[in-house]
Structure 1
Amino acid sequence: MGPARCLALGGLLALAGLLEGRLVSEQEAGFGECDRFFYAGTPPAGLAAAAHVKICQRSEGAERFATLYSTWDRIPVYSAFRAARPAPLGAEQRWLVEPQIDDPNSSLEEVMDEADAISSVNNLGSKQALHADYLGSEYQTGQLYPFSLSSDPDTATFTLTNAAPMTPSFQKRWYVNLNSLMDRALSPQCGDGEELYIIAGAVPSDLKVNDKVTIPEFVWLAACCAVPGGGWAMGFVKHTGDREVIEDVMVKELEKLLPFTPQLFQNNCGESEQDTEKMKKILEMVNQVQDEERRVDSEGDAGTLSSTRSTRSTLLPPEASGERSSLLRKLLGFAATPFIKLCQLIYFLAVRILKYLVYFLWYVTKQVTCGLESCLYRLGSATVSYFLTIGEELASIPWKVLKVMVRITRAILRILCCLLKVVCRIVGIPVRVLVDVATFPVYTIGAVPIVCRDIAMGLGGIISLFFDTAFGTMGGLFQVIFTVGKQIGYKITFDNPGEL
């Protein structure tokens, strides 16, 4: 092992201590200090969801890129970063995990190696993908923000929250496309690249690797150049088929292809001030990249792409690059490959057997538990029903005795009533006679005052009538005498008028 290899390996022993991945809380509007990776400090609008977590990836005390990660699909929704800078000459592949995604109560705030996290992180792999999830499949961990575009010497891009499943051929073509676009089209048309904002994302499909990690339907990239008076915005889409060619689209068209139709850049990256001439030059270079990719497809050799002449490393892991591989490493790799594959196969079979054994034991335990639960439930139901029935019968005895006593009492009262009726009918006539005889004197004595009163009133009426007759007769006589005398007086007066 050469000195450079030893130095690189020794430096990676402290890698977890240099890298930090801060989970941004939902209460924070953006990505905290990682907002600087977005145009105008504003993350894409419309892509946030309950199963998404925001990660501000740091390294050596500096922010490196921002990631919106889906714990449901276990792949990144997107990773945002600034203009690419020259990458380091090489780095070891060491995939890292974010402890706080699976264990929110964890005190570990730094990303760490997956092997070390097994014993220190609770529920590891419950919400994020692990490198072990890819074993036994044809897919590899493909970075949305490739190491070849990063200037970070500590390989912050090797976090599994920045990776999605890709086949080896697609992964290689995706990295080649990114490097070609960055070197030949995007960076040259954005000044020195200081104002170039990049967002790379993946759209999930219905397929999964080992029923855990969702395979992307397509990956995409959106670029925004914020140079005053000469900015532009461009989008790219690449479907995950091995023969698919990268497509250029406008940012607005790209937004329509994404779930929830988000807004990737505020004001569409200053749409009113974009430089159409630069966009035409970018499209010309993109057409060249597409033509080269089609030509390579027809020739069947992806290694002849002109972008391989780039100063950046086009493949990950970087040690796999042919220019940096020594003959000894190739021989060792060739000799170790069957052993590694055999170990992977044994590991995969052991995991599968253990998994199915656990499933079987769980199924048997579940069935036994369900049977015991059913028997106990039936026994309990029968016991409760038995005691309820006995209780109801015991409780109804006093009521039934009371009902019988009430009926006996009613029968006795009816008998007595009938006897009284018979006695009354037998003694009914004599009793009435005695009552009449007893009440006769009372009625007789009571009638004497009334008779006397009537006699007195009759006598009074006779006397009153007598007086009325006498006085009426005398009044009539006096009236006759007076009338006759009056007539005689008038006659004498008329006969002797001269004497008067």
Structure 2
Amino acid sequence: MIQCLKMVKLKTGSLWFLAAFLFLSTVPTVAEVVEEVSLCEEFLLQGTPPQIPDIIVGRDIQNQNRYKPICQTYNDVRRFLTLYDTQNRIPVFSAYVYREDGKGTRYNKWKIEPQLENRGGNNMVNVERNGIYNNQAGDIDYRKNGLGFDRGHLFPSSHAFNQDDKISTFTLTNIVPQIKAFNGKSWGRMEICGGGSTTRQQQSQRQG
């Protein structure tokens, strides 16, 4: 198995994926919003979170009111980990274990995480078409932004091992804004190459 941590500015090398970006239907999905990234450490390289100044130092989240770890869980199985910035309403990173692209079809029903809105309950819910959320992005942020942004996966559906893994990636808490041409071309090619036998490390310095 290859463990992958997708955290923006790309570098290559090593056996691990790393990428961090600035800026889910009727089958039950449970996304656990927890207090510490170590509670989902099975998705982290050697069980250790990335060191991000002012965000994570050692194993500690510096501002727990702002940054929320989500153990992204689908059909009672944990699929990956996301650290979410509720102030900027974008994920800081998603971490996952890369096994290879398995069988399955693309899933296009988006969901949000109600726990981030203090609504209670564990199940992710379908995003409201024109819903505006205080602590996370909604569908309207991508449909009517006027800037040509697309929904860019941190944990790409194409890197998911099976159908349930693929479905679990279609939460807006795993999405960052990407220019459509970049998402459909250069980034798409990178995802294909990154999923091959040659593994890469992708890393960026988070800004803002």
Q: TM-score, normalised by structure 1?
A: 0.32
2:133 aligned partner, one-letter code? G
Secondary structure of 1:115's match? Answer: coil
> How many Å apart are 1:67 and its aligned residue?
0.3
Secondary structure of 2:121's match? Answer: coil
- Aligned residue in 2 for 1:24: 34
Determine the C-alpha separation between the residues in 1 that align with 2:82 and 2:193.
23
Decide whether the 8 Å contact of 2:150 with 2:178 is kept in 1: yes
Unaligned runs of 5+ in 2: 1-23, 57-61
Decide whether the 8 Å contact of 1:99 with 1:117 is kept in 2: no
Unaligned runs of 5+ in 1: 1-11, 119-123, 187-233, 238-253, 261-500
- Aligned residue in 2 for 1:128: 136
- Aligned residue in 2 for 1:97: 112
Aligned in 2, Cα 1:132/1:31: closer, same or farther, shift over 3 Å? farther
> How many Å apart are 1:184 and its aligned residue?
4.1
Q: List aligned pairs for 1:79-478, cutoff 5 A.
A: 79-103=94-118, 106-115=119-128, 125-136=133-144, 137=146, 138-154=148-164, 155-172=167-184, 173-186=186-199, 235-236=201-202, 257-258=205-206
Aligned in 2, Cα 1:127/1:146: closer, same or farther, shift over 3 Å? same
Decide whether the 8 Å contact of 2:34 with 2:71 is kept in 1: yes
- Aligned residue in 2 for 1:217: none
Determine the C-alpha separation between the residues in 2 that align with 1:166 and 1:97.
18
Aligned-residue CA RMSD (Å): 2.4
Decide whether the 8 Å contact of 2:101 with 2:195 is kept in 1: no
Greater relative contact order (CA < 8 Å, ≥ 6 in sequence): 2
Determine the C-alpha separation between the residues in 1 that align with 2:207 and 2:149.
24
Aligned in 2, Cα 1:76/1:95: closer, same or farther, shift over 3 Å? same
Aligned in 2, Cα 1:258/1:129: closer, same or farther, shift over 3 Å? closer
Task: Give % identity.
Answer: 27
- Aligned residue in 2 for 1:481: none
> How many Å apart are 1:177 and its aligned residue?
0.3
- Aligned residue in 2 for 1:44: 50
- Rg larger in 1 or in 2? 1
- Aligned residue in 1 for 2:91: 76
Decide whether the 8 Å contact of 2:82 with 2:173 is kept in 1: yes
Determine the C-alpha separation between the residues in 2 that align with 1:151 and 1:127.
30
Q: TM-score, normalised by structure 2?
A: 0.73
Decide whether the 8 Å contact of 1:96 with 1:112 is kept in 2: yes
Determine the C-alpha separation between the residues in 2 that align with 1:179 and 1:112.
30
Determine the C-alpha separation between the residues in 1 that align with 2:123 and 2:188.
27
Structure 1 residue ranges (4+ consecutive) displaced by more than 4 angstroms after TM superposition: none
Aligned in 2, Cα 1:117/1:21: closer, same or farther, shift over 3 Å? farther
Q: Which has the higher strand share?
A: 2
Secondary structure of 2:195's match? Answer: helix
- Aligned residue in 2 for 1:13: 25
